[in-house]
Each structure stands twice: as C-alpha cells, then as structure tokens.
Structure 1
Amino acid sequence: MPEDLSPSPIPAERTCWLPRHRKAPRAARWELHDFLLPHPSGELLVFTGELLVSELVTNAVRHARAPRDRLIFIRFQLSPDDTLRIEVHDANSEKPSLRPASTSTETGRGLRLVQQLATQWGCCPREGGIGKFVWCHISPEADAA
C-alpha cells in the first residue's frame, strides 16, 4: 500500500506554559513566531502579534499578584478567516485597567497599545475561579493598515 505523502495540516492552535520571569515576553514572541511561520497569512500577523503578546505577557509578569512559582499559560489560535487570537492566562484574578500614562513615566502604555492595535480585546475569569486571561484578536487587514 503506498504511503500518504500529503503534507500534514498546519496546526490552528498552540499552547505553552512560561515561567513568570523577565525573559517570558521574549519566549512568548518566539512561540508566536514559530506558530505563525508556516501559515500563509502568518507574515501579515507576526509584527503586531509579537508586540501584543509581549505586552500581555509583560503585564502578567510585572502586575499579576500571584506567587512567583505560578506559570503563565499562553494560547494562540488562528481562525479560518486568518484572525489571530492571543490569550495570556495568569493566576491573579484582578482585571487589568487602562490607566493614563504621563509623558514622564516609563510604564502604563501596554494596554493602550493592545486597545489601539487589536480588532478586539478583553479579560475573562479562568475556569475554576483562579486567575484570569486577557485576550486579543488581530486580523491581517488591521495589521496591514
């Protein structure tokens, strides 16, 4: 019987666990880049996707009031219409809030970037009642604009 040599389907979802560490945003960018690379629309999503996953993971590392040993869970999903969904889960139940950032501060702009660059974003409690996840959607059309 001949072998089926058809290419395996490209995964539409990827998940990973990262430590709450200052290097986690870099690891998240690499994970997203590797996930998007084989997709035909990946190049249209990678720049904004890497920026937003970096911001969301940075928030989880810096602002989540959870024990240091708690991990961050990340999920990437690419829908049939090429919309990328990014989820960043952490063990803190406190919802993030948009804060005004003055010109003299170094922080406070991450969620503003998410709000401006994502087609949608939000925050939901995690199943089981421990923690939350912040999500955003990016579309190729919005990224190309």
Structure 2
Amino acid sequence: MNTLECIATRLLPAAPESIKKARDFVAEECRALGLGEAAVHLARTVASELATNAYQHGSDGERDHFVVRFYSSDAGPVVEMWDGSVQRPEILPVGCYSESGRGMGLIEMLAVSWGVAPLDGGQGKAVWALLKTHTE
C-alpha cells in the first residue's frame, strides 16, 4: 500500500451490540467510497468477524471498549480493529462440530490480506484487513 489515509474512526463499548455497530459503520464508509453492494457485504462480514474477535478476545479487564478504523488506500479499503489484548489472532483448525474458531479463517478467505500490529506502549493490538472491492 503506497498511500494509506484514515478516513473514519469509531470508539465502541466492548458489548455484543457493538458488533452490529462496527458492521454498519464499515458498510456506511464503503458506500461513501462508492463500492458496490457485493463489496459492501464482504466488508460487513470481515468487520463483523474482526469486531467479534475484539469483543471476545480483546478485553483485558482494564479496557472496556474497542476501536474501529476505516482507511482508504491505493490497494483498496482497509478495516482495522484495536483492542486491549496483545494476544495475536490465529487461524484455528476446526471440525464439523466446532462451535467457534472460524473467524480468522473467514478473514483469510475474504480479505486480500490481513495482519496484526502491536499498539504503542504494548497496550493492545491492531488487527487489519485489506478488503476486496469486487467479487470474483
């Protein structure tokens, strides 16, 4: 990515209803960029999985919120979630009867790329995903 510009940020409480708020926020920003509905749907799914991880695994007892950031870049839009945990997300092997663990595998399939970066001061992490702007 050559240019990366943060165009919107939301601070959301670490609560189940914030997952929908993160999804809707990302969809709104994608539409503002002029992306089609198929790309918006993919972006909503990616945002939902990232927000779910931030809610379920990113709370350290001290931080009661997470941050959603939306970027514009030459390579495409980027969604990023900040949370209070330093534990890196990972793609887990799942079976037919697994009740969780599919989120990052879904991100791997739906995003162009994704990654993790520590926040300054070791106070958590940022998990980002570069979104597809079209479906194949």
TM-score by length of 1: 0.83
| Greater Cα shift, 39-48 or 119-128 | 39-48
> Is 1:90 aligned with 2:83?
yes
> Is 1:105 aligned with 2:98?
yes
Question: How far off its partner does 1:139 sit?
Answer: 2.5
Give the Cα–Cα distance (whole angstroms) in 2 for the partners of residues 25 and 133 of structure 1: 16
> Which structure 2 segments of 5+ residues have no match?
none
Which of 66, 69, 78 is equivalent to 2:60?
A: 66
Q: Which runs of 4+ in 1 moved over 6 A?
A: none
> Which structure 1 segments of 5+ residues have no match?
1-10
- Superposition map of 1:17-96 within 5 A: 17-67=11-61, 69-80=63-74, 83-96=76-89
Partner of 1:130: 123
Question: How far off its partner does 1:52 sit?
Answer: 0.5
Report the structure number with the largest CA radius of gyration. 1
Bigger relative contact order (CA 8 A; separation at least 6) = 2
Equivalences, count: 132
Give the Cα–Cα distance (whole angstroms) in 2 for the partners of residues 110 and 32 of structure 1: 17
Question: How far off its partner does 1:13 sit?
Answer: 1.1
Partner of 1:6: none
Give the Cα–Cα distance (whole angstroms) in 2 for the partners of residues 70 and 99 of structure 1: 26
